Amino acid sequence: MISSYRASFNEHFSEEKYNGFLENLEKGFAKIPFRVAETPIFLPAALKEKLIAAGAEIVTLIQQPDFKQLTEKAIPEQWQVPAENTHPHFLTFDFGICKDEQGELTPKLIEMQGFPSLYGFQSHLAETYQTAYSLSEGLTPYFNGMDQAAYIALLKEVIVGDHQPHEVALMDIDAPNQKTAIDFLVTEQYLGIKILSLEDLKKEGKQLYYIQDGQKVRLKRIYNRLIFDEIGDNTGLFKNSFDPREELDIEWITHPNWFYRISKYTMPFLKSEFAPETFFLHELNAIPTDLENYVLKPLFSFAGMGVIIDVKKEDIEAITDPENWILQRKVNYEPVVQAPDGGVKVEIRLMYLWPEGKEPVLCINLARLSRGKMIGVRYNKDFDWVGGTVGLMEK
């Protein structure tokens, strides 16, 4: 989107360079199972400032004194976890890049999460793009004047805190085989923490431990990457490990309840030029006559599962639990990134870190390129110049 960088990048691009970039990205790590795009995004200053302003509005909502009261019903009863803390440690906000009535680029909120994203991988990804393509040193993926060293230091403060790295573990159901395993491995390299699957953890009283070299090692913090929606009714997984819903002597980074509090559930409370009009379905007085301009989303799903893009009146009338759905005005993505064969749509994720007792800090970003009907891997299988990437900005 910064035309000078885009023109230069496209002119010098080659499949050979792209393949070398992918090789460097995976070197020393696992093979990446998702598509990484050929190019980074070059974010212009005006759009960067709008993104910062849009993110700040959402942060203001989350910091309202009554935010927990507003979102109490967001947490499914069967997934309530005790000992919730005062704020999440991670905030991620996804914006589609559109054009306003004046033809200027503007962000529109798609979704938000109080849950970690690819905080390790995005730093590694940006560094690899810059090295593999010999990009200008005047470009950065970081906000607030950060460089990589400052970013990793803050990441360590949030995730490790005052503990020793071996007392902290990144945990997921089957961590080594997750699609995001590359992020786990980069995070391990940056911070020195353990990567553990759910069944690697055992409970003794209220304490958790894992075995290393035949010895019990007490765990004090969990960098939680486990999403309860993935478990569903398969709670038998907890029998060989521990049940997160029990009272435990453990610190959660971040506490699982925040996954639900800051989510699609939060969207209807946000009134902003950067957020599309959103309604809880059970609070809708009448079904809009222009349903082609709306998208229907289940509250309790992830990765786009269950979303109805081409909404019909019958779809709404067939829903038996309207309190668990939202109706959201569609966001019209603009194909603003110029690939060699035309425009590509883009989504930008702002990624914040929120240290204990401090303010949330906008740190880095994630971007996704799409030619399909929706952003996401399964909608872009047959295209190139799509997939995960990062936004680079002028320092």
DSSP 308-365: BSS--HHHHHT-S-GGGEEEEE-------EEETTEEEEEEEEEEEE--TTS--EEEEE
- pLDDT of amino acid 70: 95
The pLDDT tens digits of the residues spanning 326-362 come to 999 999 999 999 999 999 999 999 999 999 999 999 9
Give the chain's radius of gyration (CA, Å).
Answer: 21
Task: Characterise 28 by phi-psi region: left (phi > 0), alpha (psi -120 to 50), beta (else).
Answer: left
Helix 121-132 vs helix 15-26: angle between axes, to the nearest 10 degrees?
Answer: 140
Whether residue 374 has pLDDT greater than 80: no
The span from the CA of 295 to the CA of 121, in Å, is 31
Residue with tokens 């499914």: 76
Q: Is 155 helix (H, G, I), strand (E, B) or coil?
A: helix
- pLDDT of amino acid 235: 87
> Averaged over 84-89, what is the pLDDT?
96
- pLDDT of amino acid 377: 60
End-to-end, the C-alpha distance of the chain in Å comes to 16
Task: Characterise 357 by phi-psi region: left (phi > 0), alpha (psi -120 to 50), beta (else).
Answer: left
The pLDDT tens digits of the residues spanning 95-116 come to 999 999 899 999 999 999 999 9
Q: For the whole prediction, is pTM greater than 0.85?
A: yes
185, 30 contact by CB (below 8 A): yes
Measured at the alpha carbon of residue 370, what is the angle toward residues 364 and 106, in degrees to the nearest 5? 60
